[in-house]
Structure 1
Amino acid sequence: GVEHLTPMEWLPPGVTLTNNKGVHADKGGEFGIMSILMLHNHLPRIITHQNHARYDSLYSTPIKGKTLVLIGTGSIGRAVAKHAQALGIHVIGVSRHGKPLPELDEAVAVSELDRVLPRGDFVFVVTPLTQETTNLLSANRLALMKPGAGLVNIGRAAVVDYDALVEGLNSGAIGGAVLDVFDPEPLPPESKLWSQPNLVITPHVSADDGNAYVPLTLDVFFNNMRRLINGEALENQVNTTLGY
């Protein structure tokens, strides 16, 4: 993400900002489908029970036919969607533009988010943080989720109202959650998130490939160097107006 560079008026005229979009897709896609399967099979709740020495069998059906509301259809989002479709999950992709993609069964603009949220058995957040996405999943929108649905956030913490999420987890309105992003990071020991039921916390590890991250990023960089020398348009250009 480049939200830490905004607002971008500091960029000199004629300077193009690029990022390493795409290098996280494989790892992020695998982590994403793992999280969805964990939610479907009640793993957050089972872990909560384990912490209280409670042996309670929780069963699930095959995941085929369930619905995923995917907020963010960039490279990681599309990788998650591809894995989900392979398991027979119906994928509704939500983006600023609502552009159809092969990995999506439905594509809607963010203006239609309120309409599709109640359909999701799982809500997956992997959108960049911008002025438009800050608090996108507000308390009111979290209340629109299907009762007992699960939530995953590997995008940015500020996209989701975590206080409202905690209330939903405690009331049972939200069946479980997997969170990989926080504000601040590291998540302080005194944060109430640590003690919430049916919540799995991962320390911002969802999309970084420990072995390949640097080589993949360098591939992007040197490819753009070649394009610059040859007078070609650079790839992965950041839209400084949109903030991603």
Structure 2
Amino acid sequence: MALIRPRTLPSRSPTSSPAAKSSAERPDAMRVLIHNDRPEPLRERLLELVPDVEVGLCDSYDGLVTATQAFEPEVQFHIRFEDKPYPVEAVFDVPGLRWLGVGGVGVDHLGPWDPEAITVTNGAGVASEALAWHVLGSIIALTLKYPLFARRQAEHIWAWQDVGHVWGKTVCVVGLGHIGRDIAKLCNAVGLRVVGTRANPQPTDNVDQVFGPDGLHKALAEADYVAVCTPKVPSTIGLIDGAAFAAMKPGACLIDVSRGGVTLADQLMAALDSGHLAGASLDVFDPEPMPDDHPIWGREDVMITPHSCATFEGWELKALEMFADNLKRLKAGQPLFNVVDPVRGY
């Protein structure tokens, strides 16, 4: 955990800028800027939980620089919502901004930052249960060949087809962080054997065997299903490549809920074409959005969701509530949780 010394910025008149709408000014209140395309419900919930703050709003990427200059926030909370580069200059170049709270888990859109100048936290744990259910649902759907049957239904084809079964099988969780541990818990609960990898291997609840990074291929060799949920950092870009696919069991299935670029799509398709892999479920891709002419769209052995399995109903409010818990800690002079190391990326 990291300790940030709370401080009060000079009081000023609320801005009239449409890019940074402010709640009613409170003398000596900490100024918090919420950056989201639907910020008003988040403002209302934040003020219910932490009423003694002044809240500014910004609902676009283009307006963020103006908003931060006008509102002069000490703290910013943001959730990515546009398919274009994040305006990092509106965060790291702002005098007085000490803490950036990211509502999601990934921070690769921020690039490098100086942890001595600004603290970055993420929403690790907010969507881990939803992602775990997505992984389990994908395991069942791929095993029972739902993508194939959906295609045949659309074509009005009634054709008998062998399907597999899940009981007694093994899942390998690549990355036993918040998400990975919830995947392991759910898979273990339905009778799947679980192995996994983590940067610092140690005994982990609901996991039969834990491997370090250098044991990835050994872990993959044991698995009928591979759930990829590792952060995207330099050491994990291209982690699931041709060698990784070759290490997997014949007939294994891949489920990727990490970040685009961790799995190499061309080598995934080669493994599917050869029959070595039986199927894949992709919630992430590189680039995003996936090009509409990419050949993976037409495959019957691949399920595609548009980076959406974590965006369950109410997740933004849940992320805001986690941020509010940290804001209370900041105001009380306590260490923050979910602090991100810019070198590790998580």
TM-score with structure 2 length normalisation?
0.66
Corresponding residue for 1:125? Answer: 228
1:135–1:159 CA contact under 8 A, matched in 2: yes
Q: Which has the larger radius of gyration?
A: 2
1:193 alignment partner, one of 284, 296, 300: 296
Instruction: Tell me what 2:94 maps to.
Output: none
Offset at residue 59 of structure 1 (A): 2.8
Do residues 69 (structure 1) and 206 (structure 2) align? no
> 1:158-178 CA distances to partner (integer Å, 9 max, x unpaired)?
111110111111221100110
Among 162, 169, 188, the alignment partner of 1:58 is 162
Matches within 5 A, 1:152-191: 152-191=255-294
Counterpart selection for 1:222 from 295, 303, 324: 324
Per the alignment, residue 207 of structure 1 pairs with 310
Work out whether residues 44 and 177 of structure 1, in 8 Å CA contact, stay in contact via their aligned partners in 2: no
User: Which moves more between the two structures, 229-238 or 180-189?
Assistant: 180-189
Alignment check: 8 A CA contact 1:45 1:176 kept: no
The CA distance in 2 between the partners of 1:38 and 1:24, in whole Å, is 21
- Higher relative contact order (Cα pairs below 8 Å, separated by 6+ residues): 1
- Corresponding position: 1:107 with 2:204: no
For residues 50 and 144 of structure 1, the distance between their equivalents in structure 2, rounded to whole angstroms, comes to: 34
2:108 matches 1:6: no
Hey, what does 2:194 align to over in structure 1? 91
Check conservation: 1:91, 1:106, Cα contact below 8 A: yes
Q: What letter corresponds to residue 60 of structure 1 in structure 2? A: G
Which residue of structure 1 aligns with residue 36 of structure 2? Answer: none
Q: Percent identity?
A: 35
Match of 2:251 in 1: 148
Selected match of 1:33 from 136, 140, 143: 136
What is the letter of the counterpart of residue 170 of structure 1? D
Structure 1 unaligned regions, length at least 5: none
Runs of 4+ in 1 over 6 A off after TM superposition: none
Distance (Å, rounded) in 2 between the aligned partners of 1:169 and 1:125:
17
For residues 108 and 133 of structure 1, the distance between their equivalents in structure 2, rounded to whole angstroms, comes to 15
Query: How far 1:49 moved relative to its partner?
Result: 5.0
More helix by share: 1
| CA offset digits 1:127-165 (Å, max 9, x no partner) | 110001001011111111101110000111211111011
TM-score, normalised with respect to structure 1: 0.92
Q: 8 Å contact 2:220–2:226 — kept in the other structure?
A: yes
The one-character-per-residue Cα deviations of 1:96-154 (angstroms, maximum 9, x if unpaired) are 11222112121111110111211110011011100010010111111111011100001
8 Å CA contact 1:170, 1:196 repeated in 2: no
Helix, strand or coil at the partner of 1:3: coil
The one-letter code of the counterpart of 2:336 is L
Residue 233 of structure 1 corresponds to: 335
Once residues 145 and 51 of structure 1 are traced to their aligned partners in structure 2, the CA distance between those partners, rounded to angstroms, is 32
Kept in 2, the 8 Å contact 1:32–1:206? The answer is no
Q: Is the 8 A contact 1:44 1:176 kept in 2?
A: no
Residue 3 of structure 1 and its aligned partner are, at CA, apart by 0.8
* One-letter amino acid matched to 1:168: A
Measured in 2, the distance between the counterparts of 1:126 and 1:30 equals 13
Larger deviation, residues 155-164 vs 100-109 = 100-109
